[in-house]
Amino acid sequence: MQISKIPVVALEQLQNNVFLLKARSKELAEKSSPGQFFNIKVSDSYFPLLRRPFSISNVENDILTFMFDIHGEGTKLLSLKKEGDNIDLIGPLGNGFNLDDDFDTAVIVAGGLGSAPFPLLLNKLSKEKKVKSFVGGRSKPNVITWKLANVNIATDDGSIGFHGNVFQLIKKHENIFTENKCKVFACGPNPMLKALQEYCLANNINCELSTECAMACGFGICQGCPIESSDKKSPYKLVCKDGPVFNAKDILI
Ligand SMILES: Cc1cc2nc3c(=O)[nH]c(=O)nc-3n(C[C@H](O)[C@H](O)[C@H](O)COP(=O)(O)OP(=O)(O)OC[C@H]3O[C@@H](n4cnc5c(N)ncnc54)[C@H](O)[C@@H]3O)c2cc1C
Ligand code: FES
C-alpha cells in the first residue's frame, strides 16, 4: 500500500459531464496495470472523509489519466483540480485484467463510464491481437469512445448507433465468437455485467468483468466491499483486494 502526492498537469473536459484528470508520476505510471485503480483523496480538507476509487484510464509516458463524471460531492471537488495542484492517492490497487490468456481477439464491452479502464488495456495489448469494442450509453452524450478501437455503439434511446442495450448489440454480432478465439473484457453497470456473464458462461467464452461497489479503505482492511463468490468454500471475495476485475466464472453478480 503506497500513498503518494503527485502533481496535476491538466483537467480536461472530454464531453458534457465527463472529465480527464491527468497527473504526473513516473514511478506510479510504471507500476500501473489495466483494470487497477487508485483511491484518491479528492480535497485537502477532512471533507469528504473517505477517498474515492477511480480506475486508471490511461498511462502515457509518466502521465496517468483518470476519467470521471460529476456524480456527487467527491467528483465535484475533483473537477475543480487544476494544473499545479497535488493529488493524494493510494495505489495502484487491486487486480486488473489478465492479458496473457490464449486469445486472438479482445472484445471490449463498456457501459457509460465503464469505458474508463480500456484505453490503458488497449495500450498494453499486443499489436497482433484484434480488437472489437461495444460501447453503450443511455443516450448519445453518455457514450464514451475515447481511445477505443473498432467501436460499435448502442444507445437506449437510439440517438446514435444501435437502438437498444449493448448486450443486444453484441448478440447481433455473435458470429465474432465462433469466427475468432475471443476474450471478453467488460466494465459497466451490473445488469450489463450479469447478462454478459450468463452469456459467456453458457457459451464457454473467456470473460473478465471489472466490478464496482462503494469502498472505504480500498486495500482489504475494512471488509466493506464484499462480492459473492461462486466458490462455496469461500463465499465472499473483496472487490478492492481480490478484484475489481474477476473472471466471470468466479463471482455471482
Ligand atoms: C474499483 C472502482 C473503480 C472506479 N472507477 C471509476 C472511474 O474510472 N470513473 C468514475 O467516474 N467512477 C469510478 N468509480 C466510481 C466512483 O468511485 C464513484 O463514482 C465516486 O466514488 C463517486 O463519488 P462522489 O463523492 O462524487 O459521489 P458520492 O456522493 O459518494 O455518491 C453519489 C451517489 O452514488 C452512489 N455511489 C457512489 N459510489 C458508487 C459506486 N461505486 N457504485 C454505485 N454507486 C455508487 C452513492 O451511494 C450515492 O448515492 C469506480 C469505483 C470503483 C469501486
Ligand atoms: S474497501 Fe476496505 S476491504 Fe475493500
Mean pLDDT, residues 136-154: 97
Mean pLDDT, residues 123-142: 97
Q: How far is it, in rounded angstroms, from Cα 77 to Cα 158?
A: 33
Model pLDDT, residue 165: 97
Distances, alpha carbon 20 to alpha carbons 44, 56, 78, in Å: 20, 11, 10
Q: Is 189 in the pocket of ligand 1 (CB under 6 A)?
A: no
Q: Mean pLDDT score of the chain, rounded to an integer?
A: 97
Q: For the chain, list the domains and their CATH numbers.
A: 3-93 (2.40.30.10), 105-210 (3.40.50.80)
* Rounded distance from Cα 40 to ligand 2 centre (Å): 14
Look at residue 21 and tell me whether its pLDDT is greater than 90: yes
More confident residue, 203 or 232: 203
Residues 6+ apart with CB under 8 A from 127: none
Q: Is 22 in the pocket of ligand 1 (CB under 6 A)?
A: no
pTM, entire model: 0.96
Is residue 185 packed enough to be buried (19+ CB in 10 Å), middle (13-18) or exposed (0-12)?
A: buried
Model pLDDT, residue 217: 96
pLDDT band at 1 (very low <50, low <70, confident <90, very high): confident
For residue range 22-81, what is the model confidence (pLDDT) as tens digits? 999 999 999 999 999 999 999 988 889 899 999 999 999 999 999 999 999 999 999 999
* Rounded distance from Cα 187 to ligand 1 centre (Å): 13
**37 forms bridges with which residues in the sheet?**
55, 93
User: Which atom of ligand 2 lies at the shortest distance from residue 216's CA?
Assistant: 1
Q: DSSP per residue over 110-179, as a string? A: EEGGGGTTHHHHHHHS-TTSEEEEEEEESSGGG---TT-SSEEEEETT-SSSEES-HHHHHHHTTHHHHH
User: Which atom of ligand 2 lies at the shortest distance from residue 221's CA?
Assistant: 3
